[in-house]
Amino acid sequence: MWDALRVTSRIGSAAARIAVLVLVLLGLWALWEGYRALWEETGWTRPFRVNATTMPHLHDIVGALFDPLREGEPLLARFMLDAALFTAKEAAVGFAIGAAIGFLLGALIARFAVLQRGVMPYIIASQTIPILAIAPIVVVGLGNVSILGWTPKDWMRVAVIAAYLTFFPVTVNTVRGLRSADPAAVELMESYAAGEWAVFWKLRVPASLPYLFSAFKVAATASVVGAVIGELPSSIQSGLGGWIINFNQYYALDPENLWAVNLVAALLGISFFLVVVLVEKLVVHRPPEILV
């Protein structure tokens, strides 16, 4: 009886969520098209003149995905999928490297208070440098590196940029998270004569998980942005960044295409985010009000 109720309420809440999603999408669509219609009707030119080039119809943008670029070629969506998967690989590897480095740095800073003052300023400084300035140096520079005759592949160099954007939020939240353990819980571990490693793995790390996952959510979307930007200076054609450059040059002719690739990039970032949310649901057990 209760189980049945619970199941119905779960279905109910899922239905409600889908309804909200549909409403939000409809609202956004109405905003975009309404704005277009109003500005076109009145001929207002501020902040910019609205026409098919500056603001294509949303259905034209989505429609562009289902048109071939040239006669007889596959649909644009097909190319977009391949490009998204390529960029996803760079972003995922970058995320993994960045998260690992971020956690390690955070753990060291949380453990050795000296490092807070010694290292933290440089970590913060690293994030104030525009990523667009760093990307060519890293991506092009690493292309000339050879380790025993092995040169990092294109996508690996781009992954480094993704990692660069990923590690920072993870470091900051690792420090906070590892220090968030209840002092009474630490005392309890002491009373069991638990060693420092045991306190770390059985208390501090689990206590830090909600903080870590907050960082992972920020980092997941940042890693996609990092991967796209990393592709720009290196003339890597296989990812979304390559298509963005390409469609930029033809914007006056086919504005829908650039909007379409942006849409795909956004969807990729959202899927990264959702994967983190899903893993959090499976891994982190907390009172529901603590999880955001």
Partner 1 sequence: MSTSEAVVSARSISKTFGKGGVNALQDIDLEVGQGEFISLIGPSGCGKSTLLRVIGDLVEPSSGEILVNGKSAHRARLDRDYGIVFQAAVLYDWRTVAKNIALPLELMGYDRATRAGRVRELLHLMELDGFEKHYPWQLSGGMQQRVSIARALSFSPALLLMDEPFGALDEMTRERLNVELLRIWAELGSTVIFVTHSISEAVYLSTRVVVMSPRPGRITSVVPIDLPQPRTFETREDPRFFELVTQVREALHAGGAEL
Q: How many CB atoms lie within 10 A of CB 127?
A: 14
DSSP-based helix, strand, coil % in the chain, nearest 5:
75, 0, 20
Q: State the minimum distance, in angstroms, from the CB of residue 46 to partner 1.
A: 54
Which is closer to partner 1, CB of 267 or CB of 283? 283
Which is closer to partner 1, CB of 131 or CB of 194? 194
Which is closer to partner 1, CB of 130 or CB of 183? 183
Residue 75's DSSP bridge partners are 68
Q: Which two tokens stand for residue 164?
A: 């660069």
Separation of alpha carbons 229 and 102, rounded Å? 20
Q: State the minimum distance, in angstroms, from the CB of residue 190 to partner 1.
A: 6
Which is closer to partner 1, CB of 23 or CB of 198? 198
Cα dist. 37→24, 28, 220, 258 in Å? 20, 14, 36, 21
Which is closer to partner 1, CB of 84 or CB of 178? 178
Which is closer to partner 1, CB of 47 or CB of 287? 287
Q: State the minimum distance, in angstroms, from the CB of residue 54 to partner 1.
A: 51
Separation of alpha carbons 141 and 23, rounded Å? 47
Q: Which of 204, 198, 134 is nearest to 176 (CA)?
A: 204
Binding region for partner 1 (CB under 8 A): 182, 184-185, 187-194, 198, 202-203, 206-207, 209, 284-287, 290
Instruction: State the Cα angle at 217 between 118 and 285, rounded to 5°.
Output: 100
235-239-240-243 Cα dihedral, nearest 10 degrees: 50
Q: State the minimum distance, in angstroms, from the CB of residue 78 to partner 1.
A: 44
Which is closer to partner 1, CB of 73 or CB of 190? 190
Q: State the minimum distance, in angstroms, from the CB of residue 175 to partner 1.
A: 20
Q: State the minimum distance, in angstroms, from the CB of residue 180 to partner 1.
A: 12
Residues counted in the chain: 292
Q: State the minimum distance, in angstroms, from the CB of residue 195 to partner 1.
A: 9
* Amino acid (1-letter code) at residue 146: S
Q: State the minimum distance, in angstroms, from the CB of residue 136 to partner 1.
A: 43
Which residues, in sequence order, are CB contacts of 138 under 8 Å at separation 6+? 157, 160, 161, 164, 230
Separation of alpha carbons 221 and 99, rounded Å? 13
Which is closer to partner 1, CB of 44 or CB of 192? 192
* Amino acid (1-letter code) at residue 214: S
